[in-house]
Amino acid sequence: MKIAVLGTGTVGRSVAGALAHLGHDVVIGTRDPQATLARTEPDAMGTAPFAQWHAAHGEIGIGTFADAAARADVVVNATNGAGSLAALTAAGAENLGGKVLMDIANPLDFSHGFPPSLNPVNTDSLGEQIQRAFPEARVVKTLNTMTASVMVDPASVAGGDHSVFVSGNDADAKEAVAGLLTDLGHRDIIDLGDITTARGAEMILPIWLRVWGALGTGVFNFKVAR
């Protein structure tokens, strides 16, 4: 499958690497590929320069948001939540129409320090904002409730015995995403309903951040025990 992963941070790299490892044809999209590849310093989060990571993943292409999305069957939004709409606008509505758009970002606002605020909440979500902005895309919110390493290696936590959620309006798109999640090793995929249910999936972030603090690690996941 041709997959565009938008975003060059830890989440984008993890997902792109795992999907390429599964045999998919993956291109990472970024605003300015030359600038991304030219960076030689770790970013503010201490993440190694992209070029260093990319050198070890030669099978993964890199292009502009628009180039990556144009050739893809599935587009993964792995950008920072605060920049997601701008990144997708740069990708272009014409390159997203009809496609499965896996939105794995969280609309966290760190501008007032830790803990971040979540915006929007309650009556809207980033997933819905993206669906409204790109009505022809088939948005599926998923994976945003866990850290990047668990997204792509669920077996690393409790042998994979935990849950992942999907929210979206298009049943076929959710099925396609569930297929990718299954390939990544996820075993308990819970369909919450339409894209408005992304509100709940996003609003889990504040407790996720506090559990991270309590455990001293982000390598955990929620399981819906029943």
Residues near its own copies (CB under 8 A): 115, 117-119, 121-123, 157-158, 161-162, 165, 190-193, 196-197, 199-201, 203-211, 213-215, 217, 219-226
- By beta-carbon proximity to its own copies, the closer residue of 23 and 213 is 213
Three-class SS of residue 145?
coil
Contact by Cβ (8 Å): 142, 181: yes
Q: Shortest CA distance to 177 belongs to which of 128, 186, 71? A: 186
Least spacing, CB of residue 151 vs its own copies, in Å: 14
Question: Is the Cβ of residue 54 or residue 186 nearer to its own copies in the bound state?
Answer: 186
Q: Tell the smallest beta-carbon distance from residue 167 to its own copies (Å).
A: 8
Of 66 and 219, the one with the shorter C-beta distance to its own copies is: 219
If the CB atoms of residues 79 and 221 are measured against its own copies, the closer one turns out to be: 221
The strand pairing partners of 165, in sequence order, are: 190
Are 85 and 107 in contact, with CB atoms under 8 Å apart? no
214 three-class SS: helix
| Continuous H helices in 56-204 | 65-70, 84-91, 126-133, 148-152, 171-184, 198-203
Shortest gap between Cβ of 6 and its own copies (angstroms)?
A: 25
Helix (H, G, I), strand (E, B) or coil at 142: strand
Whole-number Å distance between alpha carbons of 11 and 18: 11
Nearest distance, CB of residue 82 and its own copies, angstroms:
15
DSSP code of 114? S
Q: From the CB of 214, what's the least distance to its own copies, in Å? A: 5
Candidates 139, 120, 151, 112; CA nearest to 13 is: 151
Compare residues 21 and 220 and give the one whose CB is closer to its own copies: 220
